[in-house]
């Protein structure tokens, strides 16, 4: 008797894991993942969101899974519970593998990342998706020399920009200070390309990147030449500047 109840119960559990959607179900692929991702309810939360969209069923705990989430191998997927989780897709060229790759692409899309970030326990986000990781890493990858960047900036940018306390009274009033620029969300983009942004093209030459000054319009002042290494030093220095209070007035274009 008990068996009669157990089988439907199992089916119900299975259908909770991967609800049958309006999209017709295709044969799926296998996925293995660390136990805590299942015990926390994360898999039950995540997988239906993929299956609903694609109709691709995911079998957890399959033999020879096509997709493996682990804490040591593959492409970084997300961070949480004190570790980084990685996703790996097997090499075997099977139809299941193609589906697993669609899963990987979905996880790497905005929708997939959002789904990862939306999972909460007691109202607290548990996992930060890979994009967040990338951004966090990008913010610390500058491996120039901050001190050299600082000295270079005071010496060469400081006659127009307030670079820091040392030249607080020296910059040109209408020119944004480094700390104001640093507070802009795209500061990195602005500093990496500053040599191409007005008014710098007539002042600055980035070695190997800038076009030579047009002889018809020679630079007015002593041109400033800098190398990519010096630019990296500047970026390293600026990444460590305390951003200005965003409430402070910002010199706008
Ligand atoms: C001759 C004066 C002058 C010098 C020297 C100068 N800048 Fe500027 N810079 C400006 C002005 C003026 C602006 C504002 C331009 C605007 O608002 O359109 C500016 C803007 C910028 C911006 C923001 C650009 C944007 O489009 O948002 C960055 C980044 C920057 N400067 C970096 C530097 C760095 C780094 C140096 C030194 C290596 C430097 N500048 C040297 C005058 C100068």
C-alpha–C-alpha distance, residues 60 and 34, integer Å: 11
The mean predicted confidence, pLDDT, of the chain is 82
The average pLDDT across 204-228 equals 80
Chain segment 116-170, per-residue pLDDT in tens: 999 999 999 999 987 655 555 445 567 789 999 999 999 999 999 999 988 988 8
Residue 251 CA: which ligand 1 atom is closest? 17
User: Ligand 1 in contact with 157 (CB < 6 A)?
Assistant: yes
C-alpha–C-alpha distance, residues 148 and 233, integer Å: 6
- 130 alpha carbon – ligand 1 mean position (Å): 33
Q: How confident is the model at residue 27 (pLDDT cuts 50, 70, 90)?
A: confident
> Is the model more confident about 19 or about 46?
46
The token duo for 55 is: 């109709």
Cα–Cα distance list, 152 to 59, 64, 78, 212 (Å): 58, 57, 38, 22
User: Ligand 1 in contact with 203 (CB < 6 A)?
Assistant: yes
Neighbouring CB atoms inside 10 A of 142's CB total 19
C-alpha–C-alpha distance, residues 238 and 250, integer Å: 18
Per-residue pLDDT, 189:
87
Q: Is residue 30 predicted with pLDDT exceeding 60?
A: yes
C-alpha–C-alpha distance, residues 218 and 173, integer Å: 26
Per-residue pLDDT, 253:
43
Q: Is residue 70 predicted with pLDDT exceeding 90?
A: yes
C-alpha–C-alpha distance, residues 38 and 199, integer Å: 56
User: Ligand 1 in contact with 156 (CB < 6 A)?
Assistant: yes
Per-residue pLDDT, 2:
44
C-alpha–C-alpha distance, residues 133 and 117, integer Å: 12
- 123 alpha carbon – ligand 1 mean position (Å): 44
- 157 alpha carbon – ligand 1 mean position (Å): 7
């Amino acid at each position: 008797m008990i068996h009669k109840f157990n089988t439907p119960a199992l089916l119900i559990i299975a259908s909770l894991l991967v609800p049958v959607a309006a999209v017709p179900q295709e044969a799926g692929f296998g996925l293995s993942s660390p136990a805590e991702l299942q015990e926390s309810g994360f898999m039950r939360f995540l997988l239906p969101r993929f299956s609903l969209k694609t109709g691709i069923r995911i079998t957890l705990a399959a033999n020879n899974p096509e997709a493996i989430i682990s804490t040591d191998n593959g492409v970084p997927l997300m961070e949480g519970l004190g570790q980084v989780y990685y996703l790996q897709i097997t090499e075997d060229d099977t139809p299941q593998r193609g589906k697993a790759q669609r899963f990987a692409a979905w996880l790497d899309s905005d929708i997939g990342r959002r789904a990862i970030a939306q999972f909460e326990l007691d109202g607290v986000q548990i996992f930060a998706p890979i994009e967040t990781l990338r951004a966090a890493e990008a913010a610390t990858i500058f491996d120039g020399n901050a001190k050299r960047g600082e000295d270079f900036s005071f010496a060469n940018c400081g006659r127009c920009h307030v670079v820091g306390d040392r030249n607080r009274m020296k910059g040109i009033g209408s020119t944004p200070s480094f700390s104001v620029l640093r507070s802009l969300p795209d500061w990195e983009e602005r500093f990496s390309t500053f040599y191409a942004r007005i008014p710098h093209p007539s002042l600055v030459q980035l070695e190997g990147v800038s076009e030579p000054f047009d002889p018809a319009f020679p630079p007015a002042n002593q041109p400033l030449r800098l190398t990519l290494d010096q630019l990296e030093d500047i970026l390293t220095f600026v990444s460590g500047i305390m951003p200005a209070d965003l409430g402070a007035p910002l010199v706008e274009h």
